[in-house]
Amino acid sequence: MAKVAIGIDIGGTGIKGSLVDVKNGELVGERLRVETPPGGRPDDIAEVVRELISVLDPKGEVDSIGICFPAVVQHGVTKSAANVSEEWINLDADKLFTQVIGKPVHLINDADAAGVAEMKFGVGKKVKGVVMMTTLGTGIGSALFVDGKLVPNTELGHIEIDGVDYESKAAFSAKEREELSWEQWATRLQTYYSKLESLFSPDLFIVGGGVSKEHEDFLPLLKLNTKIVPAKLRNSAGIIGAAMIGLKSSK
């Protein structure tokens, strides 16, 4: 089982996990999902993750564990908190999970994890230059790559446009909350991606998140100079990327 690692994707509403074949970028067996504990406090989430791992790996045979999380993560310390408790801010999350689970655990930003997986096994494979991956969901996550190397914690969903944190206008949750049509939402996405395009002149945009499976309803409506494509790994990207980071950190 040398090439198998556990990937855990923590979100504000759900926690997903699976065994991952990190050589081929594929889930092994079932992907499990449990609800994020109310309040999203560190100790509560760590305990739920411990229980989830015990189901995925009942014999405790897998030593490589990676977790992706909706926050800026620097050297295992969570520096921010999105849709979870503020107790995560400046918390040594690597240490917390390692203590609770009893094995070395490493955290990475959730969009960065998804991007790492997509660049290795998805549509970003072998793409040179500047690649930007965005995940559209409750918020907007971002991952920036230069010649395949990650520039971590960009958090470009929070870029200010027209005086507001623009993920509040362009995230998929905004479409649902305001009952926007695909066309109305695409107008906001046009504003968002045009801003990123003007700032970074990327060679490729990759769009992930659950809504990417419906990409035909909105991506063709965007008029950009940069090629924009849906992610290949969809909602499994975070789990796969987290597992890749977990394996790398355990060596």
Q: What are phi and psi of 109, to 5 degrees?
A: -55, 145
Instruction: Note down the domain range covering 101.
Output: 4-112+236-250
117 domain-assigned: no
One domain, residues 157 and 240: no
Q: What is the pLDDT of residues 162-199, one digit of tens each?
A: 999 999 999 999 999 999 999 999 999 999 999 999 99
Report pLDDT digits (tens) over 39-84.
Answer: 999 999 999 999 999 999 999 999 999 999 999 999 999 999 877 8
For the record, the structure tokens of 136 come out as: 């559209």
- Asked whether the predicted pLDDT for residue 239 surpasses 80, the reply is yes
- For 38, the 3-state DSSP assignment is coil
Q: What is the mean pLDDT of residues 109-120?
A: 96
How many domains does one find in the chain?
2
Average pLDDT, the chain: 94
pLDDT value, residue 1 = 44
Is 118 part of any domain?
A: no
96 and 138 share a domain? no
Residues 222, 158 share a domain: yes
Domain annotation covers residue 121: no
pTM for this structure?
A: 0.93
Q: Which amino acid is at 205?
A: F
Mode of pairing for the β-strands spanning 227-230 and 204-208: parallel
Mean pLDDT of 94-121: 96
171's tokens: 């995230």
